[in-house]
Amino acid sequence: MPTAEQIRDWVAQPLTQRTLTAGLTMLAWLIWLFVAYTAIAAAARRVRSGARWLRRLPLPTPLQATATSVAGAAALGAGHAAVAQPAEPVAPVTASTVDGSPISPEPADTVGVGEGVTIAGGWLPRETAEQVAAASVLVWLRRRRDYQPLTAAGPPHHDLAPLSQTLAAVRAALDATTPTDGPAGRPPPGEATPAGPPTVLPTAVALTGPGALQAGRGVLVTTLLAAVRQPADGTPTVITRTALTMLLGPAAAVALQQGLPGLQTTASLDDALTLAHGTARKMLLISETVPAPAGGRLAAVLDTGTLTAVVLGTSPVGATWHVDVRGHTSEVGRSQEGGPRLCVLDQVAATDLLAVLTLTRPPLQRQSADATVVPRPRPPADPVTLGATTAEVAEPTPSVHLRVLGKPAVLVDGRPVAVRRSAAWQGLILLAVHPEGLGARQLTEAIWPGIPAHTVTGRLYTTLSDLRRTIGAAAVHHRDDRYRLDPDHVDVDLWRLRAAAQHAATALTDRPGAWQKVIDTYTGDLATGHTWAWIDPPRETTRRLVIDAYAAAAAAQPEPHRALELLEAALRVDPYNAHLHRRAAEALTAIGDESGAAQLLHNYTHRLADAGLAPILLGQTTPSTR
């Protein structure tokens, strides 16, 4: 018999794969029973009418026997399917189409550790996916570097927008193919071992076939992303405007206007060859079809050893590779098959990944050493969230305590419980970040980015049902098509931090005490150790709450040494923030420790350089675009 919870789940979502399978199974058995009863009843009538021939019992007619066999086979097959169907079907991260060309699911052994990942926009080799993940980390480090604690002259929080869904899908697929050593997951991409070099191309290669343009986008994205991490060693890329338009379509105009770091465009192939002939540094050229008259000049430049040419079409010089929509290559004119597999991207995926290189960043405004920091009330990113949190904290003590600041943990009635599913942890922390609740589609798009939401709905229901069994059914509500944590049963440290920050921003008395409350409530980054694709915006928002409190408390502190202690503590929260380093250096100078200020800035410069960021020096008013 079903439990009460199963009945409630069925009422909330009656048409699931499991219920449909069960219904078909019961229908097949009823049909089989009806046919069997008909056959047995007919046989019984014949037995009664011919009692004298008891040894010659009549059999069912051929039609009845056939119908019985078919119905029985259907019932047994449906029943077997119901048993064999896994409770949480694994939906692979696969691409449906690339530039209109259908793509069938990847073989199980194709997308593996060390090989590559498949997303809705194509396929990326492992090293390219690592570069994408590293570029996303670099974007958030830049935002951390350039942020100023909210003051009367400070910038608004306009730089917390999440990155593209394509980038999130790459990071999620990369995590899915990366073995983990513990519940904290793999280390952040920016701190991992640098990825290896991309596929080595011949000196000159012409890409043909249905996947030629997709592979050309892959070459462009891979080369530019590799140059982001090591700009001094990166290979400059030259592309003709015609080739750029072929690859990016309408987005090429935006790319030309904004410019892509490491990319130079030329009006024609002749201009590109002139540019390549006049430099001693090795370059990559991406061009449209090379006509025969230009072949000789291209060959002459290739002989100098400073150029690698990728042609989108035919070329009289170099090798010709046929590329399919999956990136598999074979050299035209040779019998052997199975050349290197290239990164392939459609226009949307390539544009999304290139957008990481062109994100606009707010300038870092210089403040004088004697500038007064006036805390400004923080406009809540979600008024419902902060308003509800303030009221919720005053409720009676809940039975479930959720810690999401630092290493996540759950205590039920004072005892720690284990949340074993990664998806369950994500769902739980997502609901903690959004006390107002989230819909099923929002949850699936965050937890499984790049996968159509309808294909993982069953996984979401299984995940949430398992979560409710772990922490209690009353802790997670499902009302008005939204899931939310019940504040009467769940206490979250993040909610208490937000309430303290809201109080500090609006307090009229005892403001130092209000700032200290924020500092004391913060116990670490949101979900420390986890690298989920959606985590960066709420994590940075939470980090800024405590940075604002430290900066405001330091500015209001009349004792210089105590102000310096607060700034040093803030730097432990965010060691990449330029504003805090400037303030700390000015505080050291004010107390006469000029050598300490110089050493602080020296170490900071090296930390930024190690992360791939341009240094910001004391007195510099605008950060580099790197």
CA distances from 578 to 146, 382, 549, 582, 610 (A): 6, 27, 16, 6, 15
Question: Which of 86-95, 139-148, 209-218 has the lowest average pLDDT?
Answer: 86-95
Range of the domain at 462: 383-506
In a domain, 223, yes or no: yes
Q: How many CB atoms lie within 10 A of CB 361?
A: 16
Q: Are 402 and 498 in the same domain? A: yes
In a domain, 590, yes or no: no
In a domain, 528, yes or no: no
The mean per-residue pLDDT over the stretch 438-442 comes to 94
For residue 308, give the CATH number of its domain: 3.40.50
Q: Are 187 and 211 in the same domain? A: no
Q: How many residues does the chain have?
A: 626
* pTM value surpassing 0.75: no
Q: What does the block give as tokens for 236?
A: 């400059």
Q: Are 208 and 343 in the same domain? A: yes
- Residue 278, sorted as left (phi over 0), alpha (psi -120 to 50) or beta, turns out to be alpha
**Tally of domains in the chain:** 4
**169: pLDDT confidence band, cut at 50, 70 and 90?**
very high
Q: Which of 347, 374, 406 is the last residue of a domain?
A: 347
pLDDT at residue 356, rounded to an integer? 86
pLDDT at residue 338, rounded to an integer? 73
In a domain, 265, yes or no: yes
pLDDT at 21 over 60: yes
Q: Are 333 and 214 in the same domain? A: yes
For residue 408, give the CATH number of its domain: 1.10.10.10
The mean per-residue pLDDT over the stretch 434-445 comes to 95
CA distances from 513 to 152, 251, 374, 387, 585 (A): 21, 51, 16, 21, 25
Q: Are 156 and 130 in the same domain? A: yes
Q: Are 316 and 68 in contact (CB under 8 A)?
A: no
Q: Which of 506, 522, 547 is the last residue of a domain?
A: 506
CA distances from 161 to 97, 141, 164, 225, 361 (A): 28, 14, 9, 21, 12
In a domain, 586, yes or no: no
Q: Which of 506, 532, 564 is the last residue of a domain?
A: 506
Q: Are 150 and 233 in the same domain? A: no
pLDDT at 210 over 70: yes
In a domain, 162, yes or no: yes
pLDDT at residue 234, rounded to an integer? 57
Q: Are 401 and 493 in the same domain? A: yes
Could you read off the pLDDT of 263-299 as tens digits, one per residue?
999 999 999 999 888 777 888 999 999 999 999 999 9
Could you read off the pLDDT of 110-124 as tens digits, one per residue?
333 347 899 989 999
pLDDT at 129 over 80: yes
- Mean per-residue pLDDT over the chain, rounded: 79
In a domain, 577, yes or no: no
Four-residue CA torsion sign, 496, 499, 501, 503 = negative
φ and ψ of 192, to 5 deg: -85, 175
Q: Are 76 and 40 in the same domain? A: yes
Given the DSSP bridges, would you call strands 307-312 and 283-288 parallel, antiparallel or unpaired?
parallel
pLDDT at residue 337, rounded to an integer? 64
Q: How many CB atoms lie within 10 A of CB 199?
A: 17
Q: Are 330 and 409 in the same domain? A: no
**361: pLDDT confidence band, cut at 50, 70 and 90?**
very low
